Chains A and B, each alone.
Chain A
Amino acid sequence: MQANQLPSSYRDPSGFVFTHKGEIYRQVNKSFQPDFEAFINSGLYDALVAEGLLIPHKTITENLTGGEDWFTTLKPEKIELISYPYEWTFSMLKDAALLTLQLALKALEHGMMLKDATPFNVQLHNGKPVFIDTLSFEKYRDGEPWIAYRQFCENFVGPLALMHYVGLPLQQLLLAHPEGIPLLYVKKLLPYKSRFNLHLFLHVHLHAGVAAKGSANSKKPFLAKSKLVNLLRGLQTLVASLHFNKFENIWGEYYKEAETRPGYLKEKKAIIAAWIEQQPALETVIDIGGNEGEFTKLVANGKRRVICADGEHYAVDHLYKQVRENKLSNIYPLCIDFTNPTPAIGVNNTERSSFFDRASSDLAMALALVHHLAIGKNIPFDFIADMCARLGIYLIIEFVAKEDEKVKVLLQNKKDIYDWYTEEGFENAFSKRFRLVEKRALSSSPRILYLMERL
């Protein structure tokens, strides 16, 4: 392992990703030279980059690691935010699956094949999913079955089919199974009627049964190229047929309801827009509990990188669809539950970093959120202040007083044990972490907006 090698980049002997003077690079090892040259010379790299399917890179003819295995160094275009499939919505995982299949089919056209099919190789970049592992393409050997077939089924087909049939956001199953949900699990969890979907029957039910048996010394069977294309097209048909729109969106309707409160959204937007204007150096923002991204879009304004993180799958999915349709290239919608944000996982707990390690920004926004955390989840103000201080240098936060009708709804069916939930208690807790820059009470409701700077 090289000194600055990323902890997630250890599996593939073809090369690895490392940091050098704060920049990300990828080393190609000598052992992978023939495949890498075929990848470039076949025209596949140019074709994929021209279509925006693969991250472009520059070649650096310098051995930055000093390693003996070095063949060449690549400097890929910078990815603003790395996110993981257990933070994605159904549509994000589905798009990543379709991209992976598209890449495999394109590779075959150029006499190459995709050797990995993991969603960790796909990232949101300039408003659409892009494949980031340049070393995942190897020469296609005639008659060879797809090495990544099971990986594709366990990482993409399994979770997508479960969400389709169960109708619940189950992306966090991938947190427990970051290398894919074993097909036997998927088979057992799927309802019986899923067997009547022919493609699903083949790729999951039948596949699970045969894969479980395995074989200790079987030879690789011959699979003609035309059949391999059929296999990939069958997967495309299956993935395209999976949907996730059965349940009504509770929080997704939030803004429609909020709009009925006269002046509330308008006044809030005007104050926040003015504050943002005063801070021209702000480049990155995290919208904590950003829902469908109404305020994310306001602050992004085409130039700032904004993470819109919310625990509500449907609202985040809705924003993601807007990002794709309208090419909102600097907005990153993610499913994050702030009472239990993504931990660091994998080998040595360093392979995939925690959400907080990736998301810290110039500005954190927590709008109409404090009452949900404090009263809804009993989280003390001090803890919320710590959370905000870890995420932003500046903070725009909304305090929702107990007199507010939404807080009254939260307290309707529970004992009011929140005597500490006061404007004064809120300000005291946050003053330990932040300096108050400006405070504005909303005239349209008993809510207060604060602009603060971290101490």
Chain B
Amino acid sequence: MMSILLYVDPGSGSYLIQALVAAVTGFVFFFKNIRMYVRDKFQRLFRKKQS
């Protein structure tokens, strides 16, 4: 088992994972942007009402 692992390129796993990590991160940023957009809208509305 050990001898096989010695010839495995340890970088290869890091290549594979990047697509998955990037996809999840993109998803998170997408919803974060929506949340910020909605919050911004509400804040503006609130400020208008106050003034």
Contacts and interface: CB of A to CB of B under 8 A. Distances in A.
Interface of A: 145-147, 149-150, 153, 198-199, 202-203, 206-207, 210-216, 218, 220-223, 226-228, 230-231, 233-234
Contacts, number: 92
A146 B18 contact: yes
Contacts of A212: 13
Given A233-B25, A234-B29, 6 more contacts: A150-B10, A210-B16, A210-B17, A215-B13, A215-B16, A221-B15
Contact of A216 (B7, B18, B22, B25): B7
Nearest to A234: B25
Contacts of A207: 13-14, 17, 21
Interface string B1-34: 0001101111111111111111111101100000
Contacts of A223: 18-19, 22
B18 A231 contact: yes
Contact of B25 (A145, A146, A231): A231
Nearest to B27: A230
Question: Mostly helix, strand, loop or mixed at chain B's interface?
Answer: helix
A234 B22 CA distance: 8
Interface residues of B, number: 24
Contacts of A153: 14
A212 B11 CA distance: 9
Contact of A231 (B4, B13, B21): B21
A147 B16 CA distance: 11
B9 A145 contact: no
A214 B15 CA distance: 9
Closest 7 CB pairs of A and B: A234-B25, A150-B14, A227-B22, A211-B13, A214-B8, A231-B22, A215-B12
A199 B25 CA distance: 8
Given A227-B26, A233-B29, A202 B21 contact: yes
Contacts of B28: 198, 234
A234 B16 CA distance: 17
